[in-house]
Amino acid sequence: MHVHEFQDMMRRIYFHRDSERAVVRTFNWLVEEVEELREALKEKDNEAIGDEFADVFAWLASLANVVNIDLEKAAIRKYNGRCPKCGQTLCKCPF
Amino acid sequence: MHVHEFQDMMRRIYFHRDSERAVVRTFNWLVEEVEELREALKEKDNEAIGDEFADVFAWLASLANVVNIDLEKAAIRKYNGRCPKCGQTLCKCPF
């Protein structure tokens, strides 16, 4: 599935709600999902970890819909086969 | 670009570093990128907002690589055209 197809799917399911919820509250949901991912990683439950990755990705795409950002285009523009900081295909930035 | 292609690109550029950095520190970088997205949203600078969305997505994919999760498969499993909570194609969950 293309990144923009996932973002479009999120729009179809959630945009009517996310647009009402607006930016700050949708962002806060994203933060909450990131916290749930932290918990799942601590528990080391692989199915829960997968679900929480899906949720963070879903809320990121939903938030992108609310602020009218094309996540796929933004990602390709910044990461086009190279590290945007050091410009290398195998990142050599200092840690 | 498919979600798994983006994740694979992240693996090629960053896995040699992310696997050394391990889960907790890679997760902390993700949290830092989410905070940078918050700041960009406050500033309402559209190019910066796009870049920060790209960074959060990149670190999410990198973290998925470290814990061996296929982000595309996880996303499709949980969100397959319907809200996973209410089961509707147009979410009707209470706010």
Q: Write the residue in B12, B20, B51 that is nearest to A89 by C-beta.
A: B12
Alpha helices in A1-95, H assignment, sequence order: 3-43, 46-66, 71-78
Residues of A in contact with B19 (CB under 8 A): none
B52 pLDDT more than 90: yes
Paired with A2 in beta bridges are B2
CA–CA min distance A90, chain B (Å): 5
pLDDT band at B86 (very low <50, low <70, confident <90, very high): very high
A3 pLDDT more than 90: yes
For residue B52, give Cα distances in angstroms to A22, A42, B73, B79, B94: 18, 26, 24, 24, 30
Judging by beta carbons within 10 Å of its beta carbon (0-12, 13-18, 19+), is residue B58 exposed, middle or buried?
buried
CA–CA min distance A94, chain B (Å): 10
Interface contact flag, A91 B14, Cβ < 8 Å = yes
Q: Write the residue in B1, B53, B56 that is nearest to A2 by C-beta.
A: B1
Q: What phi, psi does B31 have (nearest 5°)? A: -60, -40
Numbers of helices and strands, H then E, in chain B: 3, 0
User: Region B47-76: what's the mean pLDDT?
Assistant: 97
CA dihedral B90, A34, B21, B63 (to 10 degrees): -10
Q: pLDDT tens across A27-84, in order?
A: 999 999 999 999 999 998 889 999 999 999 999 999 999 999 999 999 999 999 999 9
- Better-scored residue on pLDDT, B94 or A15: A15
Q: pLDDT tens across B7-34, in order?
A: 999 999 999 988 888 899 999 999 999 9
Report the pLDDT value the prediction gives residue B73, as an integer from 0 to 100.
98
ipTM of the complex: 0.95
Structure tokens, A32: 């909450």
Interface check for B55 against chain A (CB to CB < 8 A): the answer is yes
CA–CA min distance A16, chain B (Å): 8
- pTM strictly above 0.80: yes
